[in-house]
Amino acid sequence: MAYLRGEEPLPEECLFCLKPRLPDEEAHILYRGRWCYVVLNRFPYNNGHLMIVPYIHVPSLEDLDELTSAEWMALTQTSLRVLRQAYNPQGFNVGLNIGTVAGAGVAGHVHLHVVPRWGGDTNYMSVVGQTRTIPEWLEETYRRLRPLFEQHAPG
């Protein structure tokens, strides 16, 4: 709510470069790999909406080296497994927004979104009120998913 009211200032540096320096629970980091980490989206589209983020600050997919790219995809697969176990979604949106005009909120640091989907998960609140309703607190989502990432960690 503080963010929505404009009371919470945006960080001066890249959000995705800042998060790994915070404690996992505070930053909602679900898993730390060698080249990438998995973090909950602070403003989720649905329950379980997470992102896979490389530690390196680059704006686009083609800027990633092979090791980072390989771990990124392995963590995407792990994320799908974890979310299936935790929420039993009927489908997923998995994607990148590269560049501001493509919808990237943090255009300078490439990241991949994984959004669980269910039939009927869009309701009148989204259409009429231009508001999303998420039935689970972010902290609860974190507590539900963190142990599953430890269980399913790649490698």
Choose among 110, 121, 116, 122: nearest CA to 144: 116
**What does the pLDDT look like over 38-64, one tens digit per residue?**
999 998 889 999 999 999 999 999 999
- What mean pLDDT do residues 121-140 have? 63
**Is pLDDT at 9 greater than 50 in this prediction?**
yes
Pairwise pLDDT comparison (84 vs 3), residue with the higher score: 84
Domains and CATH numbers, the chain: 15-152 (3.30.428.10)
Contact 117, 89 (CB under 8 A): yes
- Tell me which residue has tokens 């539900």: 144
Can you say whether the dihedral through the CA atoms of 144, 78, 113, 128 is positive or negative? negative
Contact 89, 118 (CB under 8 A): yes
**Is pLDDT at 134 greater than 90 in this prediction?**
no
Q: Could you tell me what percent of the chain has a pLDDT over 90?
A: 74
pTM of the entire structure? 0.85
Pairwise pLDDT comparison (42 vs 12), residue with the higher score: 42
* Average pLDDT of the chain to the nearest whole number: 88
- What mean pLDDT do residues 63-91 have? 97
Of the residues 57, 109, 111, 113, only one is catalytic, namely: 111
Asked about 111 being catalytic, the answer comes back as yes
Q: What interhelical angle do 66-87 and 138-152 show, nearest 10?
A: 120
Contact 77, 19 (CB under 8 A): no
Residue 124, pLDDT score: 45
Q: Could you tell me what percent of the chain has a pLDDT over 70?
A: 83
Which neighbouring-strand residues pair with 53? Answer: 37
Spatial distance between the Cα atoms of 22 and 28, rounded to a whole number of angstroms: 9
